[in-house]
Amino acid sequence: MACHGPQGNSQNPEIPSLAAQPQLFIENQLVLIREGMREVPQMKGLLDGMKDPEIVALAAYFAAQKPVAVAAKRDEAMFQRGQALAGKALCGSCHLPDFTGRQQIPRLAGQHESFLLTAMKQFRDKPGPGRDTIMAASLYGLKDQDLADLAHYLAQLR
């Protein structure tokens, strides 16, 4: 919670909130990180020796938490462009129409805009071990401004 915030609601715009993320998504990510299949330098060593039942309990805790809205000023033009891009790219078909995520697919609604933008750029530009190849393909060809618009739109959702 030192990094991901009280009850999993991150106070740092570069770190994702875990509150209300789907339990299976959290479990999968923690196992990938623990096993060295997904590199998150800040998490290195934190999960060493953690048993599966502890990961399940941790994931259940964060999944049950209520997300706290991130206060950010809406840019109406960016919001509208992001909404149109999300519709065109069919983002809601996997992340659900309200972008709350499901099963192994993360919640995007209400995440920090900066985090979302960084994550999308990583998927587009540097897909690697433990990363979803479908996301890399989905973001292929989108320009930085497109990603900024998507991130702004998603961050505004509650």
Give the residue ranges of the annotated binding site for heme c. Answer: 3-4, 43, 91, 94-95, 135
Three-class secondary structure of residue 102 per DSSP: strand
What are the binding residues? 3-4, 43, 91, 94-95, 135
Distance separating alpha carbons of residues 91 and 110, to the nearest angstrom: 15
Q: Can you read off the two tokens belonging to residue 140? A: 């292929």
Torsion of Cα atoms, 96 then 123 then 58 then 54, to 10°: 130
Distance separating alpha carbons of residues 128 and 47, to the nearest angstrom: 20
Q: Which residue has the tokens 């129409």?
A: 97
Report the sign of the C-alpha dihedral through residues 14, 17, 22, 27, in that order: positive
